[in-house]
Chain A
Protein backbone atom coordinates (compact mmCIF):
# COMPACT_ATOMS: atom_id res chain seq x y z
CA UNK A 1 0.00 0.00 0.00
CA UNK A 2 1.24 3.47 -0.89
CA UNK A 3 0.71 6.09 1.75
CA UNK A 4 0.98 9.85 1.68
CA UNK A 5 4.64 9.79 2.52
CA UNK A 6 5.36 7.47 -0.37
CA UNK A 7 7.10 4.89 1.86
CA UNK A 8 5.83 1.36 1.72
CA UNK A 9 3.73 0.19 4.61
CA UNK A 10 2.48 -3.32 5.25
CA UNK A 11 -1.20 -3.88 5.79
CA UNK A 12 -2.40 -6.79 7.91
CA UNK A 13 -5.75 -8.46 8.47
CA UNK A 14 -6.14 -10.45 11.68
CA UNK A 15 -9.11 -12.74 12.33
CA UNK A 16 -10.05 -12.29 15.98
CA UNK A 17 -11.30 -14.81 18.52
CA UNK A 18 -13.73 -14.19 21.36
CA UNK A 19 -14.50 -10.54 20.64
CA UNK A 20 -17.24 -8.72 18.72
CA UNK A 21 -15.33 -7.46 15.65
CA UNK A 22 -14.40 -10.43 13.45
CA UNK A 23 -11.33 -8.70 12.02
CA UNK A 24 -8.67 -6.17 12.94
CA UNK A 25 -7.05 -4.31 10.04
CA UNK A 26 -3.80 -2.50 10.70
CA UNK A 27 -0.79 -1.04 8.97
CA UNK A 28 2.82 -1.07 10.11
CA UNK A 29 5.50 1.22 8.81
CA UNK A 30 9.02 1.54 10.17
CA UNK A 31 8.06 -0.21 13.39
CA UNK A 32 5.08 2.05 14.00
CA UNK A 33 1.38 1.37 13.97
CA UNK A 34 0.01 3.67 11.28
CA UNK A 35 -3.64 2.65 11.15
CA UNK A 36 -5.81 0.26 13.11
CA UNK A 37 -9.47 -0.54 12.55
CA UNK A 38 -11.66 -2.98 14.45
CA UNK A 39 -14.17 -3.99 11.80
CA UNK A 40 -17.43 -5.84 11.43
CA UNK A 41 -18.87 -5.38 14.92
CA UNK A 42 -18.29 -4.15 18.45
CA UNK A 43 -18.41 -0.61 19.81
CA UNK A 44 -17.55 1.69 16.92
CA UNK A 45 -17.02 4.76 19.13
CA UNK A 46 -14.55 3.07 21.45
CA UNK A 47 -12.82 1.39 18.53
CA UNK A 48 -12.37 4.74 16.79
CA UNK A 49 -10.96 6.26 19.99
CA UNK A 50 -8.49 3.41 20.39
CA UNK A 51 -7.47 3.81 16.74
CA UNK A 52 -6.82 7.52 17.15
CA UNK A 53 -4.88 7.10 20.38
CA UNK A 54 -2.61 4.41 18.96
CA UNK A 55 -1.98 5.89 15.52
CA UNK A 56 1.70 6.54 14.86
CA UNK A 57 2.95 4.93 18.06
CA UNK A 58 5.89 2.50 18.11
CA UNK A 59 4.61 -1.07 18.10
CA UNK A 60 6.39 -1.89 21.37
CA UNK A 61 4.65 1.02 23.13
CA UNK A 62 1.32 -0.18 21.79
CA UNK A 63 2.00 -3.71 23.01
CA UNK A 64 2.79 -2.42 26.48
CA UNK A 65 -0.56 -0.64 26.57
CA UNK A 66 -2.90 -3.21 25.09
CA UNK A 67 -1.65 -6.59 26.29
CA UNK A 68 -3.68 -8.49 28.88
CA UNK A 69 -6.81 -6.33 28.94
CA UNK A 70 -9.86 -8.53 29.47
CA UNK A 71 -13.44 -7.87 28.41
CA UNK A 72 -15.12 -11.15 27.47
CA UNK A 73 -14.11 -14.72 26.76
CA UNK A 74 -10.84 -14.04 28.61
CA UNK A 75 -9.75 -11.56 25.98
CA UNK A 76 -10.69 -8.13 24.57
CA UNK A 77 -10.26 -6.05 21.43
CA UNK A 78 -6.99 -4.51 22.73
CA UNK A 79 -5.78 -7.98 23.78
CA UNK A 80 -6.56 -9.32 20.31
CA UNK A 81 -4.63 -6.40 18.83
CA UNK A 82 -1.64 -7.34 20.96
CA UNK A 83 -1.82 -10.91 19.64
CA UNK A 84 -2.10 -9.62 16.08
CA UNK A 85 0.87 -7.24 16.45
CA UNK A 86 2.98 -9.95 18.06
CA UNK A 87 2.21 -12.34 15.21
CA UNK A 88 3.02 -9.65 12.66
CA UNK A 89 6.38 -8.92 14.31
CA UNK A 90 7.19 -12.62 14.58
CA UNK A 91 6.25 -13.14 10.94
CA UNK A 92 3.50 -15.69 11.57
CA UNK A 93 0.95 -13.15 10.32
CA UNK A 94 1.99 -12.06 6.87
CA UNK A 95 0.97 -8.80 5.19
CA UNK A 96 -2.37 -8.96 3.39
CA UNK A 97 -2.20 -9.07 -0.38
CA UNK A 98 -5.57 -7.59 -1.16
CA UNK A 99 -6.23 -5.09 -3.93
CA UNK A 100 -4.08 -2.02 -4.50
CA UNK A 101 -5.93 1.14 -3.55
CA UNK A 102 -4.65 4.50 -4.72
CA UNK A 103 -6.20 7.78 -3.75
CA UNK A 104 -6.39 10.98 -5.72
CA UNK A 105 -6.33 13.79 -3.19
CA UNK A 106 -7.35 16.50 -5.67
CA UNK A 107 -11.00 17.53 -5.91
CA UNK A 108 -12.34 17.71 -9.44
CA UNK A 109 -15.41 19.10 -11.14
CA UNK A 110 -15.09 17.27 -14.45
CA UNK A 111 -13.75 13.75 -14.93
CA UNK A 112 -13.53 12.04 -18.31
CA UNK A 113 -14.08 8.27 -18.28
CA UNK A 114 -12.58 5.84 -20.76
CA UNK A 115 -13.70 2.22 -20.77
CA UNK A 116 -12.58 -0.95 -22.46
CA UNK A 117 -10.58 -0.41 -25.65
CA UNK A 118 -10.46 -4.10 -26.63
CA UNK A 119 -6.72 -3.80 -26.92
CA UNK A 120 -7.00 -1.23 -29.70
CA UNK A 121 -4.45 1.45 -28.86
CA UNK A 122 -5.32 3.33 -32.04
CA UNK A 123 -8.43 4.57 -30.30
CA UNK A 124 -6.42 6.56 -27.78
CA UNK A 125 -5.55 9.47 -30.09
CA UNK A 126 -9.15 10.25 -31.16
CA UNK A 127 -10.31 9.79 -27.56
CA UNK A 128 -7.72 12.24 -26.27
CA UNK A 129 -8.65 14.71 -29.00
CA UNK A 130 -12.36 14.42 -28.20
CA UNK A 131 -11.78 14.80 -24.45
CA UNK A 132 -9.58 17.86 -24.99
CA UNK A 133 -12.33 19.54 -26.98
CA UNK A 134 -14.74 19.17 -24.07
CA UNK A 135 -12.16 19.76 -21.36
CA UNK A 136 -11.77 17.64 -18.22
CA UNK A 137 -9.82 17.98 -14.98
CA UNK A 138 -8.76 14.34 -15.05
CA UNK A 139 -9.06 11.26 -17.24
CA UNK A 140 -9.75 7.83 -15.73
CA UNK A 141 -9.26 4.67 -17.76
CA UNK A 142 -11.04 1.71 -16.19
CA UNK A 143 -10.17 -1.39 -18.14
CA UNK A 144 -7.49 -3.78 -19.23
CA UNK A 145 -4.13 -2.15 -19.76
CA UNK A 146 -2.22 -5.33 -20.55
CA UNK A 147 -4.12 -5.83 -23.83
CA UNK A 148 -2.95 -2.40 -24.98
CA UNK A 149 0.64 -2.93 -23.92
CA UNK A 150 0.82 -6.29 -25.66
CA UNK A 151 -0.11 -4.56 -28.89
CA UNK A 152 2.19 -1.60 -28.40
CA UNK A 153 4.45 -1.33 -25.32
CA UNK A 154 5.19 2.32 -26.11
CA UNK A 155 1.57 3.21 -25.30
CA UNK A 156 2.53 3.35 -21.64
CA UNK A 157 4.49 6.53 -22.40
CA UNK A 158 1.49 8.12 -24.10
CA UNK A 159 -0.74 7.20 -21.17
CA UNK A 160 1.75 8.64 -18.71
CA UNK A 161 2.18 11.80 -20.79
CA UNK A 162 -1.56 12.36 -20.76
CA UNK A 163 -1.59 11.68 -17.00
CA UNK A 164 -4.36 9.13 -17.28
CA UNK A 165 -5.39 7.51 -14.05
CA UNK A 166 -5.49 3.76 -14.65
CA UNK A 167 -7.78 1.36 -12.80
CA UNK A 168 -6.86 -2.17 -13.83
CA UNK A 169 -9.20 -4.77 -15.28
CA UNK A 170 -9.68 -8.52 -14.86
CA UNK A 171 -7.16 -9.58 -17.50
CA UNK A 172 -4.53 -7.37 -15.90
CA UNK A 173 -4.95 -9.36 -12.71
CA UNK A 174 -4.45 -12.62 -14.59
CA UNK A 175 -1.24 -11.29 -16.11
CA UNK A 176 -0.16 -9.98 -12.72
CA UNK A 177 -0.64 -13.42 -11.17
CA UNK A 178 0.94 -15.15 -14.16
CA UNK A 179 -2.32 -17.03 -14.85
CA UNK A 180 -2.39 -15.66 -18.36
CA UNK A 181 0.81 -15.65 -20.35
CA UNK A 182 1.19 -13.80 -23.66
CA UNK A 183 2.24 -15.75 -26.71
CA UNK A 184 5.09 -13.38 -27.34
CA UNK A 185 7.72 -12.61 -24.77
CA UNK A 186 6.88 -9.79 -22.48
CA UNK A 187 5.05 -11.09 -19.45
CA UNK A 188 7.63 -9.57 -17.13
CA UNK A 189 7.40 -6.24 -18.91
CA UNK A 190 3.62 -6.21 -18.62
CA UNK A 191 3.74 -7.27 -14.98
CA UNK A 192 6.19 -4.49 -14.22
CA UNK A 193 4.07 -1.91 -16.01
CA UNK A 194 0.75 -2.83 -14.46
CA UNK A 195 2.17 -3.33 -10.98
CA UNK A 196 2.35 0.44 -10.62
CA UNK A 197 -1.38 0.92 -11.10
CA UNK A 198 -4.25 0.33 -8.68
CA UNK A 199 -7.22 -1.99 -8.86
CA UNK A 200 -9.30 0.40 -6.79
CA UNK A 201 -9.10 4.16 -6.94
CA UNK A 202 -10.66 6.75 -4.68
CA UNK A 203 -11.30 10.31 -5.75
CA UNK A 204 -13.38 13.39 -5.00
CA UNK A 205 -15.82 14.91 -7.48
CA UNK A 206 -17.50 18.17 -6.53
CA UNK A 207 -16.69 17.49 -2.89
CA UNK A 208 -18.25 14.02 -3.02
CA UNK A 209 -16.09 10.98 -2.26
CA UNK A 210 -15.96 8.48 -5.08
CA UNK A 211 -14.53 5.08 -5.87
CA UNK A 212 -13.67 3.41 -9.17
CA UNK A 213 -13.11 -0.29 -9.76
CA UNK A 214 -13.51 -2.73 -12.63
CA UNK A 215 -15.72 -5.50 -11.27
CA UNK A 216 -16.11 -8.92 -9.73
CA UNK A 217 -12.55 -10.17 -10.17
CA UNK A 218 -11.57 -8.14 -7.11
CA UNK A 219 -13.26 -10.72 -4.89
CA UNK A 220 -10.89 -13.39 -6.15
CA UNK A 221 -7.83 -11.51 -4.91
CA UNK A 222 -6.20 -13.33 -2.05
CA UNK A 223 -6.82 -11.76 1.34
CA UNK A 224 -9.76 -9.67 0.06
CA UNK A 225 -11.76 -8.70 3.12
CA UNK A 226 -15.41 -7.67 3.29
CA UNK A 227 -14.21 -4.87 5.53
CA UNK A 228 -11.57 -3.45 3.22
CA UNK A 229 -12.09 0.17 2.20
CA UNK A 230 -15.00 0.36 -0.30
CA UNK A 231 -15.57 -3.42 -0.08
CA UNK A 232 -19.19 -2.75 0.86
CA UNK A 233 -19.80 -0.67 -2.27
CA UNK A 234 -18.15 -3.37 -4.40
CA UNK A 235 -20.17 -6.13 -2.75
CA UNK A 236 -23.45 -4.31 -3.25
CA UNK A 237 -22.80 -3.39 -6.89
CA UNK A 238 -21.16 -6.65 -7.98
CA UNK A 239 -22.87 -9.32 -5.88
CA UNK A 240 -26.15 -7.96 -4.53
CA UNK A 241 -27.34 -6.32 -7.75
CA UNK A 242 -25.22 -8.39 -10.17
CA UNK A 243 -23.60 -5.29 -11.68
CA UNK A 244 -26.86 -3.30 -11.34
CA UNK A 245 -28.72 -5.75 -13.55
CA UNK A 246 -31.14 -7.06 -10.90
CA UNK A 247 -33.40 -4.12 -10.16
CA UNK A 248 -35.64 -6.26 -7.95
CA UNK A 249 -33.10 -5.93 -5.12
CA UNK A 250 -32.70 -2.16 -5.39
CA UNK A 251 -34.78 -1.75 -2.21
CA UNK A 252 -32.13 -3.76 -0.37
CA UNK A 253 -29.44 -1.66 -2.02
CA UNK A 254 -31.20 1.48 -0.76
CA UNK A 255 -31.15 0.07 2.76
CA UNK A 256 -27.39 -0.44 2.59
CA UNK A 257 -26.49 2.92 1.01
CA UNK A 258 -26.35 4.80 4.36
CA UNK A 259 -23.36 2.58 5.20
CA UNK A 260 -21.44 3.58 2.05
CA UNK A 261 -18.30 5.70 2.15
CA UNK A 262 -18.47 6.63 -1.53
CA UNK A 263 -21.20 8.78 -3.04
CA UNK A 264 -20.00 8.30 -6.60
CA UNK A 265 -19.29 4.72 -7.73
CA UNK A 266 -17.73 3.77 -11.07
CA UNK A 267 -17.47 0.21 -12.36
CA UNK A 268 -16.69 -1.14 -15.82
CA UNK A 269 -17.23 -4.88 -16.05
CA UNK A 270 -20.68 -4.64 -17.61
CA UNK A 271 -19.29 -2.73 -20.58
CA UNK A 272 -22.34 -0.55 -21.11
CA UNK A 273 -22.69 3.19 -20.48
CA UNK A 274 -25.31 3.87 -17.85
CA UNK A 275 -26.05 6.08 -14.86
CA UNK A 276 -28.22 5.35 -11.82
CA UNK A 277 -29.00 7.76 -9.00
CA UNK A 278 -30.26 5.93 -5.95
CA UNK A 279 -30.79 7.60 -2.59
CA UNK A 280 -28.47 10.42 -3.63
CA UNK A 281 -25.67 8.07 -4.69
CA UNK A 282 -24.49 8.17 -8.31
CA UNK A 283 -23.52 4.81 -9.77
CA UNK A 284 -22.00 4.76 -13.24
CA UNK A 285 -21.33 1.80 -15.46
CA UNK A 286 -18.40 2.71 -17.67
CA UNK A 287 -18.97 1.24 -21.11
CA UNK A 288 -16.77 0.39 -24.03
CA UNK A 289 -14.77 3.21 -25.52
CA UNK A 290 -14.30 1.33 -28.75
CA UNK A 291 -17.69 0.87 -30.40
CA UNK A 292 -18.64 -0.24 -33.89
CA UNK A 293 -19.75 3.31 -34.70
CA UNK A 294 -16.57 4.93 -33.39
CA UNK A 295 -15.38 6.06 -30.01
CA UNK A 296 -17.33 6.66 -26.83
CA UNK A 297 -16.38 8.10 -23.47
CA UNK A 298 -18.12 9.44 -20.43
CA UNK A 299 -18.07 12.86 -18.80
CA UNK A 300 -18.84 13.17 -15.12
CA UNK A 301 -19.48 16.71 -14.05
CA UNK A 302 -20.34 18.18 -10.67
CA UNK A 303 -22.55 21.26 -10.81
CA UNK A 304 -23.85 22.79 -7.58
CA UNK A 305 -23.63 19.52 -5.71
CA UNK A 306 -25.32 17.46 -8.44
CA UNK A 307 -23.47 14.90 -10.52
CA UNK A 308 -24.28 14.92 -14.23
CA UNK A 309 -23.20 12.16 -16.54
CA UNK A 310 -23.14 12.10 -20.30
CA UNK A 311 -21.88 9.63 -22.83
CA UNK A 312 -20.08 11.31 -25.69
CA UNK A 313 -19.85 9.53 -29.00
CA UNK A 314 -17.64 10.83 -31.73
CA UNK A 315 -20.33 10.90 -34.37
CA UNK A 316 -23.44 10.88 -32.26
CA UNK A 317 -25.47 13.22 -30.09
CA UNK A 318 -24.56 13.27 -26.40
CA UNK A 319 -26.95 11.41 -24.09
CA UNK A 320 -27.24 13.31 -20.84
CA UNK A 321 -28.70 12.27 -17.53
CA UNK A 322 -28.85 13.94 -14.16
Chain B
Protein backbone atom coordinates (compact mmCIF):
# COMPACT_ATOMS: atom_id res chain seq x y z
CA UNK B 1 0.00 0.00 0.00
CA UNK B 2 2.74 2.43 0.90
CA UNK B 3 4.24 1.83 -2.54
CA UNK B 4 1.21 3.43 -4.20
CA UNK B 5 1.81 6.50 -2.05
CA UNK B 6 5.55 6.54 -2.64
CA UNK B 7 5.12 6.63 -6.43
CA UNK B 8 2.93 9.73 -6.37
CA UNK B 9 4.28 12.65 -8.45
CA UNK B 10 6.76 14.90 -6.72
CA UNK B 11 4.33 17.84 -6.66
CA UNK B 12 1.93 15.73 -4.59
CA UNK B 13 4.72 14.30 -2.43
CA UNK B 14 5.59 17.88 -1.52
CA UNK B 15 2.08 18.40 -0.13
CA UNK B 16 2.06 15.38 2.15
CA UNK B 17 3.95 13.65 4.89
CA UNK B 18 3.71 9.87 4.68
CA UNK B 19 3.79 7.61 7.69
CA UNK B 20 3.61 3.84 7.43
CA UNK B 21 2.73 1.52 10.29
CA UNK B 22 3.78 -2.10 10.35
CA UNK B 23 0.85 -4.25 11.48
CA UNK B 24 3.26 -6.84 12.82
CA UNK B 25 4.21 -4.44 15.58
CA UNK B 26 2.31 -3.39 18.69
CA UNK B 27 2.54 0.25 17.71
CA UNK B 28 1.10 -0.57 14.29
CA UNK B 29 -1.85 -2.39 15.86
CA UNK B 30 -2.32 0.46 18.33
CA UNK B 31 -2.51 2.98 15.47
CA UNK B 32 -4.88 0.69 13.55
CA UNK B 33 -7.22 0.61 16.54
CA UNK B 34 -6.95 4.36 17.15
CA UNK B 35 -8.11 4.93 13.59
CA UNK B 36 -10.97 2.45 14.20
CA UNK B 37 -9.91 0.61 11.09
CA UNK B 38 -11.38 -2.81 10.41
CA UNK B 39 -9.45 -4.29 7.54
CA UNK B 40 -6.23 -4.09 5.57
CA UNK B 41 -4.79 -2.31 3.71
CA UNK B 42 -5.91 1.00 5.16
CA UNK B 43 -5.12 4.56 4.13
CA UNK B 44 -5.90 7.47 6.43
CA UNK B 45 -5.58 11.08 5.39
CA UNK B 46 -5.29 13.71 8.10
CA UNK B 47 -6.00 10.99 10.67
CA UNK B 48 -9.27 10.03 8.98
CA UNK B 49 -9.89 6.65 7.40
CA UNK B 50 -10.41 7.12 3.68
CA UNK B 51 -9.60 3.79 2.02
CA UNK B 52 -10.09 0.37 3.57
CA UNK B 53 -9.46 -2.98 1.89
CA UNK B 54 -8.72 -1.25 -1.40
CA UNK B 55 -5.74 0.36 -3.00
CA UNK B 56 -7.04 3.50 -4.69
CA UNK B 57 -6.01 4.38 -8.20
CA UNK B 58 -3.33 7.05 -8.44
CA UNK B 59 -5.68 9.65 -9.94
CA UNK B 60 -8.28 9.07 -7.25
CA UNK B 61 -5.68 9.38 -4.51
CA UNK B 62 -4.22 12.54 -6.01
CA UNK B 63 -7.68 14.11 -6.28
CA UNK B 64 -8.46 13.33 -2.65
CA UNK B 65 -5.12 14.72 -1.45
CA UNK B 66 -5.61 17.88 -3.52
CA UNK B 67 -9.17 18.32 -2.28
CA UNK B 68 -8.04 18.12 1.33
CA UNK B 69 -5.04 20.36 0.75
CA UNK B 70 -7.15 23.05 -0.93
CA UNK B 71 -9.76 22.85 1.82
CA UNK B 72 -7.08 23.52 4.41
CA UNK B 73 -5.41 26.18 2.27
CA UNK B 74 -8.27 28.08 0.56
CA UNK B 75 -6.04 30.96 -0.48
CA UNK B 76 -4.01 28.62 -2.69
CA UNK B 77 -6.96 27.28 -4.69
Interface residues of A (CB under 8 A from B): 40, 219, 226-227, 232, 235-236, 239-240, 248-249, 251-252, 255-256, 259
State whether the Cβ of B22 lies closer than 8 Å to any Cβ in chain A.
yes
Contact B25 A252 (CB under 8 A): no
State whether the Cβ of B39 lies closer than 8 Å to any Cβ in chain A.
yes
A249 CA to B30 CA, complexed, in Å: 13
Contact B26 A256 (CB under 8 A): no
A243 CA to B40 CA, complexed, in Å: 19
Interface string of B21-65 (1 = CB under 8 A from A): 011111001101100011111000000000001000000000000
Residue in B22, B38, B41 whose beta carbon sits within 8 Å of that of A40 in the complex: B22
Residue of A nearest to B37 (CB): A252
Contact A251 B38 (CB under 8 A): yes
Which secondary structure dominates where chain A touches chain B? helix
Chain A: minimal CB distance from B39 (Å) = 4
Q: Kindly count the residue-residue contacts between A and B in the assembled complex, taking CB atoms under 8 Å apart.
A: 46
Contact B39 A259 (CB under 8 A): no
Contact A235 B25 (CB under 8 A): yes
Given contacts A239-B26, A251-B53, contact A256 B38 (CB under 8 A): no
Contact B39 A251 (CB under 8 A): yes
Q: How large is the interface on B (under 10, 10 to 19, 20 to 34, 35 or more residues)?
A: 10 to 19
Contact B40 A235 (CB under 8 A): no
Which secondary structure dominates where chain B touches chain A? loop
Contact A219 B32 (CB under 8 A): no
Return chain A residues, CB-CB under 8 Å to B26: 219, 226, 235, 239
Contact A252 B24 (CB under 8 A): no
Return chain B residues, CB-CB under 8 Å to A239: 26, 29-30, 33
Contact B38 A252 (CB under 8 A): yes
Contact B25 A226 (CB under 8 A): yes
Residue in B24, B32, B41 whose beta carbon sits within 8 Å of that of A226 in the complex: B24
A248 CA to B32 CA, complexed, in Å: 12
Q: Could you list 23 A-B pairs, sorted by A, with CB under 8 Å?
A: A40-B22, A40-B25, A219-B26, A226-B24, A227-B24, A235-B24, A236-B29, A239-B26, A239-B30, A240-B23, A240-B33, A249-B37, A249-B38, A249-B39, A251-B39, A251-B40, A251-B53, A252-B32, A252-B37, A252-B39, A255-B39, A255-B40, A256-B23
A40 CA to B28 CA, complexed, in Å: 12
